[in-house]
Structure 1
């Protein structure tokens, strides 16, 4: 084994251990023994003359030096990937059709219902593409996680090192089943919400406040949630059962607000089947949340990335804009 290959093996073992949080996890991922991984990391620490991990009998964590070294290694890997992507792009430009992998992150439900149909149609048209779709409702680190493109809904807290393109708006609707409204009455203003059963959606163990427009401004209103669920679709099912008011994305509720309001071929159409819900407090509908495409500024704009950006920018604005 040459010195160069031994160093690369040590760096590989170090990065995988940092990601897995243990030598055992790294060994499993790399298909090697735990002792092989531990020795490779030990040799790397000896060469660097510093500890990269704090070791106890129960845990393994990075030292300050380890964190700095990991960041440097990830930057180097990103540079290598850009070099590889550059070569792939030049080769792809010679071909009639883009080729290669697209790694795209998206919110779970919106990604499944609205983004994936667009991407799958793209994959059908371009057989040389490979897709790796990542679903999470938590922000992802595009550079660290080596993500080519992300779809994000709402305000973008930090765009340093990122390029963004707004491609649509997600509107929301407050609604309830006719049976519930017949039983409890139609709320005429925001103060009336206190007398109604509401179906809340949990985020980090807390019920999300509902959003409304008041005097041209956004107002966030805490609601008394008789039912609290961690999934938007489950909240909508509870509303269909007549158990209360709910506030959900309009594209999700649209098929249930009556027939004829959703265009043919809309990506979210009909997945919950036909049902009946009635909008409430429509005059207080809040401003829509922006939908952005986000990608690392330093990424090479390959033909396949451009293709995905253009397809999503063309398809996502087809989301419905009003409940009726």
Structure 2
């Protein structure tokens, strides 16, 4: 059960941090300097940490105080926005909403879902960033995060939902297949030019292929070309440089247009989960809810 005791002194603490002075904060809040000082002392005692570094000439936040300040300002901002929404005649999504997306997937798949929603709600102020790997939404100030893989790693403070799963499939351009033939068996790949995904440290990603003895087997690739970016990998395949393995979402359009052709479809495998995660305490805010609803409908 949440205790209201946790809220006591937070507004005073934030005001002191903003003005850098007990006296200035007291004037702003129409309190005495003594009352402000006692409120901070009680808060520090309850938290078991010093929030301010005090000298005769200067008042500054400690490291613990700085971390607490960032959390408190976020909570107060959410409360203020929730009150504004409840007081409004119509609950219209408004204000800044921070959305973090994986690079290629975010640009090609998520933005087309989000942009019509953002245009329909002109009071929204979206801040869309692109990054890879798991992030700490609380620390980074993100409201909503979309990720491929890692869905099981979100902390209890985050809500999350798996929207879909990607598939891994082998593809090549019609021109390459016309010049080198179409492989019919997995063993035929040994006679073909292969394009692999690699990292700057020299590691090469194996291909995931279906195996009659189990769901997935890693096939080591002896590539003639290594590219460390999914979009670059697709460009190489489109140019006829060889056979490469792709996530299904990346090559959907080239396959539909005939610019790429799937080969050895019996080797295709299910890949990572595509999920959306959000900060639980913000999910009721209209600005967050409208984006979540759009993502869940558009990416599922």
TM range (shorter): 0.7 to 0.9
Q: Which stretches in structure 1 are left out of the alignment for 5+ residues? A: 12-43, 53-64, 260-274, 318-324
Equivalents in 1 of 2:148, 2:94: separation in Å?
28
Residue of structure 1 equivalent to 2:75: 79
Residue of structure 1 equivalent to 2:105: 110
- The structural deviation recorded for 1:150 is 0.8
Residue of structure 1 equivalent to 2:206: 209
Residue of structure 2 equivalent to 1:280: 263
After the TM superposition, which of the residue ranges 194-203 and 98-107 deviates more from structure 2?
194-203
Residue of structure 1 equivalent to 2:40: none
After the TM superposition, which of the residue ranges 228-237 and 307-316 deviates more from structure 2?
228-237
Equivalents in 2 of 1:5, 1:81: separation in Å?
13
Equivalent of residue 115 in structure 2, options 100, 105, 120: 120
Aligned pairs, number: 252
Residue of structure 2 equivalent to 1:296: 279
Equivalents in 1 of 2:77, 2:185: separation in Å?
55
Equivalent of residue 186 in structure 1, options 182, 186, 193: 182
Kept after mapping to 2: 8 A contact 1:193/1:223: no
Aligned to 1:251, what secondary structure does the other structure show? coil
Q: CA, structure 1 residues 171+4, in 2 after alignment: closer, same or farther (shift >3 Å)?
A: closer
Aligned to 1:287, what secondary structure does the other structure show? strand
What TM-score results when the alignment is normalised by the length of structure 1? 0.68
Residue of structure 1 equivalent to 2:18: 8
Q: CA, structure 1 residues 5+74, in 2 after alignment: closer, same or farther (shift >3 Å)?
A: closer
- The structural deviation recorded for 1:147 is 0.7
After the TM superposition, which of the residue ranges 83-92 and 172-181 deviates more from structure 2?
83-92
Equivalents in 1 of 2:298, 2:248: separation in Å?
16
Equivalents in 1 of 2:217, 2:19: separation in Å?
55
Q: Which stretches in structure 2 are left out of the alignment for 5+ residues? A: 1-12, 22-51
After the TM superposition, which of the residue ranges 157-166 and 183-192 deviates more from structure 2?
183-192
Residue of structure 1 equivalent to 2:170: 174
- The structural deviation recorded for 1:111 is 0.9
* 1:146 matched to 2:141: yes
Kept after mapping to 2: 8 A contact 1:148/1:295: yes
Query: Based on CA coordinates, which of the two structures has the bigger radius of gyration?
Result: 2
- The structural deviation recorded for 1:7 is 4.0
Q: CA, structure 1 residues 71+281, in 2 after alignment: closer, same or farther (shift >3 Å)?
A: farther
Kept after mapping to 2: 8 A contact 1:202/1:228: yes
Residue of structure 2 equivalent to 1:240: 238
Aligned to 1:236, what secondary structure does the other structure show? helix
Q: CA, structure 1 residues 46+180, in 2 after alignment: closer, same or farther (shift >3 Å)?
A: same
- The structural deviation recorded for 1:294 is 0.1
What TM-score results when the alignment is normalised by the length of structure 2? 0.73
Kept after mapping to 2: 8 A contact 1:197/1:225: yes
Q: CA, structure 1 residues 7+315, in 2 after alignment: closer, same or farther (shift >3 Å)?
A: closer
Equivalent of residue 310 in structure 1, options 271, 293, 299: 293
Aligned to 2:137, what secondary structure does the other structure show? coil
- The structural deviation recorded for 1:279 is 0.8
After the TM superposition, which of the residue ranges 182-191 and 217-226 deviates more from structure 2?
182-191
- The structural deviation recorded for 1:252 is 2.5
